[in-house]
Amino acid sequence: MHEDAVSATNLPPAIDMRGVRRIYKAKPNPVTALAGIDLHVEPGESFGLLGPNGAGKTTLIKILTTLLLPSEGTARVFGYDVEHQTQNVRRIMNVVSGGETSGYGLLQVREQLWMFSQFYGLPARDGWRRVDELIEAVGLTEQQHQKVSSLSTGQRQKMNFARGLLNDPWIFFLDEPTLGLDVSAARSVRELVKQWKAAVPGRTVLLTSHYMAEVDELCERLAIVDRGRILAIGSPAELKHRVQAESIFRLELDRLEGGPRALAGLPGVVSAVTPTDDAGAAADRQTVRVNLTLADDSALGSVVIALGALGSHIVALQKSEPSLEDVFVELVGRGFDAEEAAAHATGLPPQPSVPPPPAEDREPAEVA
Amino acid sequence: MAPAPDSVPGTTPVPATAPARAPSAAHSAFVYRPTADPMTAATWTQRRVLVTNLRALYGRAYPRLIGLRREPSWLFFEVLLPFLTTSAFVFVYRALQAPPEYIGFVVLGGAMTAFWLNVMWMMAAQLYWEKDQGNLDLYFTTPISLMSVLFGMAVGGLLSSCLRASIVLVVGSALYGVSFAIQDWFLLLAVFFLTLTALYGLGMVLASLFLLFGREAWHLSQAMQEPVYFVSGLNFPVGQLGMLGALAISLIPLAVGLDAMRQLAFSGSDAHTGTPSPGVEALMLVAMTVVFIGFARFMLKRLERMAREQGKLSVRGG
Amino acid sequence: MAALLHLDGSAARPSRSRVESVRDARRSFSTAVRLGWATEANWADPVLFVIYQVAKPIASVLMLVVMLEIVTQGAGDAAYRAFVVTGSALWALVMGGMSGLAWSVLDDRERYRMLKYLTISPDPLVLLLLGRGAARMGTAAAGALVTLAFGVLLLGVDFDLFAIDWPLLIPSMLLGLVAIIALGVILAGTVMMTRQDAWSYPEAVAGALFLVCGAVFPIAVLPMAVQAASLVLPLTWWLEGVRRGLFPDSVSSIGGEGSIWMSLTRTSVPDRTTLLVLLFLSTAVVTVISIAVYRWSEHRARERGLLDQTTGS
């Protein structure tokens, strides 16, 4: 039986990369896809790699999944060197990529998955049983006898996901797993990742994506990658904290005796102001809006108490959080879209020229 | 089979064919033979490695076998029509009023063509197509040897090849009045099997080369058909080619195997000149098998490493 | 309806005139030819490409010539050698024509995943396939010429440029090309409905036709019933016409002792007019059949959703 409490201290790091560089020989000039990566992921983590297209995320995953050799440096997966202990690595990992169209069109879903089960050495009957379980788990029961070539994109990706779980890997590499999927299918895939990881403690996930919300949702820690370098590593909250140390709330009250100034002096309150875009509408509205900047979330309690004492009722409360794109822009000086548009136009990496937007112009995010 | 968790004494038990589901079927799907740590999962015995590779061999043959069943047009295009092609060369000899054993040479050559084509198309050029379809990088992420995959491809195509060879041999012999004079059945069968092993060894060597050459693979396979037929003496004793024939016998399993089989199947014919005896040729096939398979193993490892260094394993870029 | 622009900036209307349709079709065809050439020729350096184009047909002809020399012990009949060399060289053209279209379908469906886009483009798919296949036919024709030259220069085939029967050669060649293309269209339609391993089908079909068309031996050697089937095929008449056009004293592939032609007509060989008429008629029949088969195949492929599927195994 599996020991539920896997101690992370007993295990080597799930991923340990030191000074990894990868240079492709291309014409007219060599392309440096990874420019010196140091990455350490503990067992049991859900780790994300966030960055625009061409940042080096897929190259990094290919190195870890033994498809590519680093030009310099070392990379280990649970202590096994990806270059010299390839088979060991392959026995404990699996990889699913977005937009994957592998497989044999003539085979049915069930047959395709069983074929792959044989590549991991599952006994024949075990393979069929496992395939049936996974098909049910990913929600492909109705399509199990359909030919692979007739699957929709979302169904195919679910099948790919089932393939990735056949050997019950210790580390699961997901390279843009929801690429090209609609909202519902993408959500299904994310739920599957969460369920799989929760089933056994100690399982590790490395996810690459350029969908910030996906990384935010799935990853405990992430690295922001651009042009082959890691710009920052941390939890989503830590990274956002770099951009915006304070907590910003937008309050809507039925009334506020004394206006925002009444809140400005409370402990933990950095500032309390009327929103600049609210001036014109205030006369028509029955409520009062206040943008509240606090030193941290804990100060909110005292504000609520004070509002109660002033006889105000809270109609709406929203927390304004920077997004991971804000973090990226802060670090790099340009957004993902500008990055990709420039790359498309010139074929060369664009130079940073656009300063990050001021904090007060950022869209507030819904409080979770 | 354990009883259902909610079964009540005195009620009808759940039949064995309808196994009870654990409370969380999804949980069961997400857990399979867990190990205490990844190091235990990563360390396999030699026996497990061998068994996995054998299972992978069958796994890779599986889609081919399914394809044969689902798309039966191959019976017409890959068996019947090639028989007609062989028949064309039979009639060339008839038009030339050749001695009767030459008809037998053509029939035997036509039968062995099936295996050469299996090697070229089902093995040698296949890895490039696998790369094209996005399957190659998935193979390289699995803990199996590429040789298992290649063997599986060949085995999967072997059914159609054997059927084609049998039809050409049996029907051709009956229809065109071929008389065999076999004195050593054991050696003949041994030579046949050794020819196949050497051919498949060569196929693996070519597969490793094609892996790096990319899209030339298909054209190289095409280009190697008629020239190989010619130098292998597909329709005539290869000894008639003199030095060229000698060179072919030393390099191409098809040439040496076919020559040996002809000498054994039509013993007493004076058409064979200047080639080694079947016994010697059988030993040559053994040597070819060992050399080709050994070389293929070396080449596949080397070329996998080169492909990983150059990033040529997958189509999707990084 | 909104005006649509061609890539060259000219406006095209969905309800275009017949002249404009022909112009558009010609442009699409020429684009497809250029594309076919680019995909056909750019896989290797020029030297390797040339070797590839000549290796196959020369190896084929050498195989047949060696067979001839072995049996005759070096005293091979020069006329029969010319027969074999010509037939083998021309057969390269048959292979190129038949495989050109079929492999274009397979290439575009399985490898480049472009078939669906070609299908939804305004011009008929078959036109684009013909363009793609034209490059392969062109290179096959070059290979055929090289093989003929090889035969003349190195294999002792007697050839007199001034003895060519042009009134027979030119129409035979043109009608034969139409027949080859028609057969290619039939195959292209067939592979639209089959799986990826259909790469071998053009060769298999060409190989079967090799038996009955008098490519490398006179059909008089075949049983009477098979000879009757041979005479229905345009390729049989084409080979005879081109062979006699190039080598007026050539051995006939259709007539001669023991042939069904002789037993039916009491003449040794068909005369020029009869040959051309029968070539024309058989080509016309095959062309009509090819149009029908292709239309049905494309319709069926659309019905079954096969145009954008990959079917590897």
- The tens digit of pLDDT for each residue in C81-106 reads 899 999 999 998 898 888 888 888 88
Nearest CA in chain A to B24: A137
Instruction: Give the pLDDT band of residue B2 (cuts 50, 70, 90).
Output: very low
Q: How far is C123 from chain B (nearest CA, A)?
A: 28
Contact predicate A44/A201, CB 8 Å: yes
Mean of pLDDT over chain A: 84
H-assigned helices in B17-45: 25-29, 38-42
φ/ψ of residue A146, rounded to 5? -90, 150
Give the pLDDT of residue C17.
Answer: 63
- Partners of residue A22 on adjacent β-strands: A34
Q: How far is C214 from chain B (nearest CA, A)?
A: 9
**Cα–Cα distance measured from residue A317 to residue A315, given in angstroms and rounded to the nearest whole number:** 7
Residues of B in contact with A141 (CB under 8 A): none
- What DSSP state is assigned to residue B232? T
Query: Which range has highest mean pLDDT (A1-10, A218-227, B24-33, B266-275)?
Result: A218-227
Q: Is the pLDDT of residue B12 over 60?
A: no
Rounded average pLDDT over C222-249: 94
Q: Flag if C207 and B85 touch (Cβ within 8 Å).
A: yes
Identify residue A13 by its one-letter amino acid code.
P
Give the pLDDT of residue C218.
Answer: 92
Give the pLDDT of residue B23.
Answer: 38
Which range among A188-192, B108-112, C170-174 shows the weakest confidence by mean pLDDT? A188-192
Strand, coil or helix: A283: coil
φ/ψ of residue A278, rounded to 5? -105, -10
- Partners of residue A233 on adjacent β-strands: A223
Query: Which range has highest mean pLDDT (B63-77, B264-278, C173-187, C194-208)?
Result: C173-187
Give the pLDDT of residue A279.
Answer: 55
What is the maximum alpha-carbon separation in chain A?
Answer: 76
Residues of A in contact with B137 (CB under 8 A): 62, 67
Name which of C113, C304, C307, C310 to mutate to probe chain A: the one with the most chain A Cβ atoms within 10 A of its Cβ. C310
Q: Any idea of the CA torsion for A132, A133, A135, A138, to the nearest 10 degrees?
A: 180
Q: How far is A192 from chain B (nearest CA, A)?
A: 9
**Cα–Cα distance measured from residue A255 to residue A259, given in angstroms and rounded to the nearest whole number:** 8
Chains touching chain A through at least 3 C-beta pairs below 8 angstroms are B, C
Residues of C in contact with B67 (CB under 8 A): 195, 197, 313
**Cα–Cα distance measured from residue C52 to residue C186, given in angstroms and rounded to the nearest whole number:** 26
Compute how many other C-beta atoms are within 10 angstroms of the C-beta atom of residue A232.
17
Which range among A3-12, A339-348, B199-208, B251-260 shows the weakest confidence by mean pLDDT? A339-348
Contact predicate B156/B122, CB 8 Å: yes
Instruction: Give the pLDDT band of residue C311 (cuts 50, 70, 90).
Output: low
Give the pLDDT of residue B193.
Answer: 95
Beta sheet of A171-175, edge-to-edge order = A93-97, A171-175, A204-209, A46-50, A221-226, A229-234
Rounded average pLDDT over C44-62: 78
**Cα angle A148, C193, B70; round to 5:** 55
Give the pLDDT of residue A284.
Answer: 65
Tens of pLDDT, residue by residue over C259-282, are: 999 999 998 899 999 999 999 999
Tens of pLDDT, residue by residue over C21-32, are: 788 888 888 888
Give the pLDDT of residue C149.
Answer: 92
Sign of CA dihedral A227, A230, A232, A234: positive
Which pair of structure tokens corresponds to residue B61?
């043959």
Name which of A22, A117, A133 to mutate to probe chain B: the one with the most chain B Cβ atoms within 10 A of its Cβ. A133
Q: Flag if B94 and C197 touch (Cβ within 8 Å).
A: no
Q: Which residue has the tokens 């059949």?
A: C289
**Cα–Cα distance measured from residue B154 to residue B145, given in angstroms and rounded to the nearest whole number:** 15
Instruction: Give the pLDDT band of residue A338 (cuts 50, 70, 90).
Output: low
Q: Is the pLDDT of residue C6 over 70?
A: no
Residues of B in contact with A206 (CB under 8 A): none
Name which of A100, A101, A106 to mutate to probe chain C: the one with the most chain C Cβ atoms within 10 A of its Cβ. A106
Tell me how far CA of residue A333 lies from CA of A326, A356, A357, B239, C238, in angstroms.
9, 6, 9, 75, 72
Rounded average pLDDT over A87-111: 91
Whether residue B138 lies within 8 A of chain C, CB to CB, comes out as no
Tens of pLDDT, residue by residue over A176-219, are: 998 888 888 889 889 999 999 988 878 999 999 878 888 888 99
Nearest CA in chain C to B273: C70
**Cα–Cα distance measured from residue A204 to residue A183, given in angstroms and rounded to the nearest whole number:** 25
Q: Is the pLDDT of residue B39 over 80?
A: yes
Which pair of structure tokens corresponds to residue C41?
């020729």
Which pair of structure tokens corresponds to residue B103?
């008809």
- What DSSP state is assigned to residue A147? B
Whether residue B189 lies within 8 A of chain C, CB to CB, comes out as no
- Partners of residue A147 on adjacent β-strands: A108
Instruction: Give the pLDDT band of residue A368 (cuts 50, 70, 90).
Output: very low
Q: Which of A163, A180, A183, A173 is nearest to A98 (CA)?
A: A180
Q: Which residue has the tokens 């001034």?
A: C162
**Cα–Cα distance measured from residue A88 to residue B139, given in angstroms and rounded to the nearest whole number:** 15
Q: Which residue has the tokens 């102001």?
A: A273
Q: How far is B312 from chain A (nearest CA, A)?
A: 9
Give the pLDDT of residue A315.
Answer: 93
Q: Flag if C72 and B219 touch (Cβ within 8 Å).
A: no
Which range among A181-185, B185-189, C148-152, C159-163 shows the weakest confidence by mean pLDDT? A181-185
Select the more confidently predicted residue: C183 or C38: C183
Q: How far is C67 from chain B (nearest CA, A)?
A: 7
Whether residue B273 lies within 8 A of chain C, CB to CB, comes out as no
Residue B245, by phi and psi: left (phi above 0), alpha (psi -120 to 50) or beta? alpha
Contact predicate C59/B226, CB 8 Å: yes
Rounded average pLDDT over B113-140: 84
**Cα–Cα distance measured from residue C134 to residue C267, given in angstroms and rounded to the nearest whole number:** 38
Q: Is the pLDDT of residue B134 over 90?
A: no
Q: Which of B133, B134, B303, B137 is nearest to B207 (CA)?
A: B303
**Cα–Cα distance measured from residue A319 to residue A248, given in angstroms and rounded to the nearest whole number:** 6
Which range among A107-116, B39-48, C194-203 shows the weakest confidence by mean pLDDT? C194-203
Give the pLDDT of residue B10.
Answer: 42
Q: How far is B21 from chain A (nearest CA, A)?
A: 10
Query: Measured between CB atoms, which of A59, A90, A102 is closest to B133?
Result: A102
Nearest CA in chain A to B62: A115
Instruction: Give the pLDDT band of residue C76 (cuts 50, 70, 90).
Output: low
Q: Is the pLDDT of residue A342 over 70?
A: no
**Cα–Cα distance measured from residue C281 to residue C264, given in angstroms and rounded to the nearest whole number:** 19
Q: Is the pLDDT of residue B231 over 60?
A: yes
Strand, coil or helix: A213: helix
Instruction: Give the pLDDT band of residue C120 (cuts 50, 70, 90).
Output: confident
Tell me how far CA of residue C25 lies from CA of C103, C139, C285, in angstroms.
22, 23, 25
Give the pLDDT of residue B13.
Answer: 41
Rounded average pLDDT over B60-78: 86
Q: What is the ipTM of this complex?
A: 0.82
- What DSSP state is assigned to residue C10? -
Give the pLDDT of residue B215.
Answer: 61
Q: Which helix (H) or strand (E) holds A293?
A: strand A288-294
Q: Is the pLDDT of residue A300 over 50?
A: yes
Q: What is the Cα A150 distance to its own chain's centre?
A: 30
H-assigned helices in C193-250: 201-212, 224-232, 234-246
Which range among A171-185, A345-359, B181-195, C45-59 shows the weakest confidence by mean pLDDT? A345-359
**What is chain A's Cα-based Rg?**
25
- Partners of residue A206 on adjacent β-strands: A47, A173
Q: Is the pLDDT of residue A364 over 50?
A: no
Give the pLDDT of residue C24.
Answer: 80
Nearest CA in chain C to A101: C310
Mean of pLDDT over chain C: 85
- Burial string for A150-189 (b: 16+ CB within 10 Å, else e) reads ebeebbbbbbbbbbbbbbbbbbbbbbbbbbebeeebbebb
Q: Is the pLDDT of residue B20 over 60?
A: no
Give the pLDDT of residue C291.
Answer: 94
Select the more confidently predicted residue: C167 or B17: C167
Q: Is the pLDDT of residue B185 over 80?
A: yes
Q: Is the pLDDT of residue A280 over 60?
A: no
**Cα–Cα distance measured from residue B77 to residue C102, given in angstroms and rounded to the nearest whole number:** 14
Which range among A82-86, A276-280, B178-182, C206-210 shows the weakest confidence by mean pLDDT? A276-280
Nearest CA in chain A to C113: A101
- DSSP assignment of A44-111 equals T-EEEEE--TTSSHHHHHHHHTTSS--SEEEEEETTEETTT-HHHHHHHEEEEETT---S-TTSBHHH
Q: Flag if C68 and B96 touch (Cβ within 8 Å).
A: yes
Contact predicate C292/C286, CB 8 Å: no
